[in-house]
Amino acid sequence: MLDRPETKYAQSGDIAIAYQAFGDGPVAFVGVPPIISCVELTWEDAEMARFLRRLGSFTRFVHFDKRGFGGSDRTVGAPTLEERVDDLRAVMDAEGIERAALGGISEGGPMVMMFAALHPERVSHLILCSTTASFRGGDDYPHYPPPEMVEAFVEEWTAKWGTPETLTVPVFTPSKVGDEQFLRWANRYERASTTPGGLRAMMRLNLEIDIRPILPLIRVPTLVLHRRGDRVIPVVNGRWLAEQIGGARYVELEGDDHIPWVGDQESVLRPIEEFLGVTAAPSAERVLSTVVFTDIVDSTRRAVDLGDRAWRDLLDRHDLVARREVERFGGRVVKTTGDGLLATFDGPARAVRCAHGLAAAMGADGLPIRAGVHTGEIELRDDDIGGIGVHIGARVGAKAGPGEVLVSRTVKDLVAGSGIVFADRGVHELKGVPDEWQLYAVTSA
């Protein structure tokens, strides 16, 4: 029998992430927990411990507490989707895992889907269980309850958090209603995971998550599991997800428990074990990335007014500041364009903050620039990049005014909860790009 593993820590920037690793199977499998987690207490529930030991019998399994929860640093606020992806990468790096199967449950789903689109070379398989691409129901996404219904549920849930009246059992694990031993464990697990305020902050942030635009960009083998009677995330979300991800395998399960280790465990574990026996190398030539385009406003006129030498000095100053800012925010300068640059980032919030900082720095030097930011699919071409995502980023930047940073709707949705403030700039046609595009100006980053 697998012994209870020790809890270790990965460093994600200044944040310590608590995680456990166990098992010696041929496939590294990193599991991202649902809304709340506390790896230390997982082993105190017999069913959950049995589920984990079963995973450890055929994989090298790793699970962790998101920042703000369980044994991870708690005084950090609710983590954005970008920060959660950073934490996942930090855990993999700390454990020396170069490539792994990723499993995401509930709100952990968007996190692993984002990671798989950004870093396909590090993902062998993607397993999505009881999850959704958007927690923001509405006319454009009727598969999830409307925000006002979710907010009312969250208020009642937080009011009863950690008490015998908790909504966790009847809503997330209805098959456990009446099981007093499980209720006592669930209450301890809740209190050890987060406070009522922490839960409320996380759920409000989740309501802003919408990763629908990136689903067609996921090109790793994907398994979608969903129970037919799930009361937290309706089963139509799982069906829709599988339709949007190319080649995804969909398995619909009986039962109404949202949590996979409650209820019929084998119906969940058997498809996973079978699926992980499939090996396929992902294509790393096309990946999800955030691109930043900048260019100097009225560069031709300024070059004529200044003369060649002064203009060259000004461009050298621009390139120096630009490279410094891109490096500071963890990006990569792909190339300079004479009067601007193209850079890529694996985090949209970092890209926006870099562009905003660069516009401010160059404006202070009397050299106003405009910038465009977009998250989408790019093609890797040796040291260069191309593809529709690059074209959209360039066209977004072309719409910006002097000193302005414009972003696409995709970027705005992906940085929800980051504290970045936008102003709506309306719907635009982008030259050579299909459809109309909602654009936003960064007012505070």
Does the pLDDT at position 235 exceed 80?
yes
Quote the pLDDT of residue 176. Answer: 95
User: Does the pLDDT value for residue 264 go beyond 60?
Assistant: yes
H/E run at residue 31: strand 27-32
pLDDT for 308: 76
CATH superfamily of 286-444: Nucleotide cyclase, GGDEF domain (3.30.70.1230)
Strand, helix or coil at 200? helix
In this prediction, residue 284 has a pLDDT band, given cuts at 50, 70 and 90, of low
Strand partners, 286: 379
> What pLDDT was estimated at residue 287?
85
Q: Average model confidence (pLDDT) for the chain?
A: 90
Percent of the chain with pLDDT over 90: 67
pLDDT for residue 309: 80
User: In what helix (H) or strand (E) does residue 253 lie, and over which residues does it extend?
Assistant: strand 249-253
CA distance 29 to 102: 6
| pLDDT tens digits, 389-429 | 898 999 999 999 999 999 999 999 999 888 999 999 999 99
Residue 335 to residue 109: CA distance in whole angstroms:
34
Between CA 256 and CA 370 the distance in angstroms is 51
Q: Is the pLDDT of residue 190 over 90?
A: yes
pLDDT at 139: 87
Per-residue confidence band for 280, with pLDDT thresholds at 50, 70 and 90? very low
1 — pLDDT class (breaks 50, 70, 90): very low
Predicted confidence at residue 3, as pLDDT, reads 67
pLDDT per position as a tens digit, 21-69: 999 888 999 999 888 889 999 999 999 999 999 999 999 999 999 999 9
Q: Which helix (H) or strand (E) holds 373?
A: strand 369-381
> Which whole number is the average pLDDT over 134-138?
88
pLDDT band at 279 (very low <50, low <70, confident <90, very high): very low
Instruction: Tell me what pLDDT residue 316 has.
Output: 81
Buried b (16+ CB within 10 A) or exposed e, 365-389: eebbbbbbbbbbbbebeeeebebeb
139-144 — which CB contacts under 8 Å span 24+ positions? 141/210, 141/212, 143/234, 143/236, 143/237, 143/240, 144/233, 144/234, 144/237
Element (DSSP H or E) covering residue 429: strand 421-429
Domain definitions of the chain by residue range: 8-275, 286-444
**Which range in 75-89, 206-220, 240-254, 412-426 is most confidently predicted, on average pLDDT?**
240-254
What pLDDT sits at residue 368?
Answer: 87
Q: Tens of pLDDT along 349-387?
A: 999 999 999 999 888 877 888 999 999 989 887 788 888
Query: Domain 8-275 - what CATH class?
Result: alpha beta
Q: Cβ distance 429 to 436 under 8 Å? A: yes
End-to-end CA distance of the chain: 51
